[in-house]
C-alpha cells in the first residue's frame, strides 16, 4: 500500500487515512479529484450486474456508497474539503476519526482477489475465523454460511459497513478454541449440557 503524501518536504511522512462523506453518485469524481491534487485515495469498487435493455452488464459500483477514503494531513485538509461533492470528513465529537489501516488493508486484499464479493449488512457478532491458505491467508473476519456457501465478512468499524467475500470451507479455521468448525455443517448440533447450546 502506497504512502505517498503531497506537499513540500512531506514525501516521507505517513499521515492517517480518513473517510470523506460525499454526494451520492459522486464517489468516482471525488476520488479522481483527490488523486489530481496529489493525495492518496481509496475508492473500493465491486462489479454489480445491471440490466440494460435486453442485456445484463457489469458495472463498477462503490462498496461503500457516499464514502471515499483519503490519506492526508488533517491540518491541511482545506484542499480536500473544497473538492466539489465532498460534504465533510467523518468525525466524532468534533475530532477527526482516522480509519483503521488494517481494515483498509483487508479490503484491498479481497479486492485484489476479485472473486464473489459485495456489500453486506454490518456484523459485530458470530464465529470469528481466519483464512489459513490461498491468496487471502491471514485475513480474519466473521463467518456467515447459507445453503452451502461460506462468506468471510470484513467490516469497516468507523462506517458500520461490511463486505462479504466467498471462501472455501477447507481454508477456514475458527479463532475460538472451542471445536466449533463442524457448525459449518447443518447436521452439527451442540452436545447435551453444552453451556452454549441454544
Indicate which CATH number applies to the domain containing 43.
Answer: 3.30.70.940
* Beta-carbon contacts of residue 47 (< 8 Å; ≥ 6 apart): 58, 59, 60, 61
Report DSSP state, residue 157.
G
Q: Which of 57, 82, 99 is the last residue of a domain?
A: 99
Q: What is the pLDDT of residues 59-110, one digit of tens each?
A: 889 999 999 999 999 999 999 999 999 999 999 888 889 999 999 999 998 8
Q: How far apart are CA 52 and CA 56, in angstroms?
A: 6
Q: What is the mean pLDDT of residues 110-125?
A: 76
Q: What is the mean pLDDT of residues 171-177?
A: 74
pLDDT at res. 43 = 97
197 within domain boundaries:
no
* Beta-carbon contacts of residue 36 (< 8 Å; ≥ 6 apart): none
Are residue 151 and residue 114 in the same domain, yes or no?
yes
Are residue 182 and residue 147 in the same domain, yes or no?
yes
Q: How confident is the model at residue 151 (pLDDT cuts 50, 70, 90)?
A: confident
- 102-113: b (≥16 Cβ within 10 Å) or e: ebbebbebbbee
- Write phi, then psi, for 127 (nearest 5 degrees): -70, 120
Q: Which residues pair with 150 in a beta bridge?
A: 145, 167
Three-state DSSP state, 46 = strand
Q: How far apart are CA 87 and CA 101, in angstroms?
A: 22
Report pTM.
Answer: 0.72
Are residue 163 and residue 106 in the same domain, yes or no?
yes
Q: What is the pLDDT of residues 7-61, one digit of tens each?
A: 434 455 689 999 999 999 999 999 999 999 999 999 999 888 666 667 777 788 9
Q: Which of 45, 76, 99 is the last residue of a domain?
A: 99
Query: What is the largest distance, in Å, between two alpha-carbon atoms of the chain?
Result: 67
Q: How confident is the model at residue 178 (pLDDT cuts 50, 70, 90)?
A: very low
pLDDT at res. 193 = 45
Tally of structural domains, the chain: 2
Range of the domain at 179: 100-189
pLDDT at res. 149 = 82
198 within domain boundaries:
no
Q: Greater confidence, 42 or 152?
A: 42
Are residue 94 and residue 157 in the same domain, yes or no?
no
Question: How is residue 5 written as a grid cell?
Answer: 503524501
Q: How far apart are CA 72 and CA 15, in angstroms?
A: 5
First to last CA, the chain: 43
Q: How far apart are CA 36 and CA 30, in angstroms?
A: 10
Considering just the CA atoms, what is the radius of gyration of the chain in Å? 20
196 within domain boundaries:
no
Amino acid at each position: 500500500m502506497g504512502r505517498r503524501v503531497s506537499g513540500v518536504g512531506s514525501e516521507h511522512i505517513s499521515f492517517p487515512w480518513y473517510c470523506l462523506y460525499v454526494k451520492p453518485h459522486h464517489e468516482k469524481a471525488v476520488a479522481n479529484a483527490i488523486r489530481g491534487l496529489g493525495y492518496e485515495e481509496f475508492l473500493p469498487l465491486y462489479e454489480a450486474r445491471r440490466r440494460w435493455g435486453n442485456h445484463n452488464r457489469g458495472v463498477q459500483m462503490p462498496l461503500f456508497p457516499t464514502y471515499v477514503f483519503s490519506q492526508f494531513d488533517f491540518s491541511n485538509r482545506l484542499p480536500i474539503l473544497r473538492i466539489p461533492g465532498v460534504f465533510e470528513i467523518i468525525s466524532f465529537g468534533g475530532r477527526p476519526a482516522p480509519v483503521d489501516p488494517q481494515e483498509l488493508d483487508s479490503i484491498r486484499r479481497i479486492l485484489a482477489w476479485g472473486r464473489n464479493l459485495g456489500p453486506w449488512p454490518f456484523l459485530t457478532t458470530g464465529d470469528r475465523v481466519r483464512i489459513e491458505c490461498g491468496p487471502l491467508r491471514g485475513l480474519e473476519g466473521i463467518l456467515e454460511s447459507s445453503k452451502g456457501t461460506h462468506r468471510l465478512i470484513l467490516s469497516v468499524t468507523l462506517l458500520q459497513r461490511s463486505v462479504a467475500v466467498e471462501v472455501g470451507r477447507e481454508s477456514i479455521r475458527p479463532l475460538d478454541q472451542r471445536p466449533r468448525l463442524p457448525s459449518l455443517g447443518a447436521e452439527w448440533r451442540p452436545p447435551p449440557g453444552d453451556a452454549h447450546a441454544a
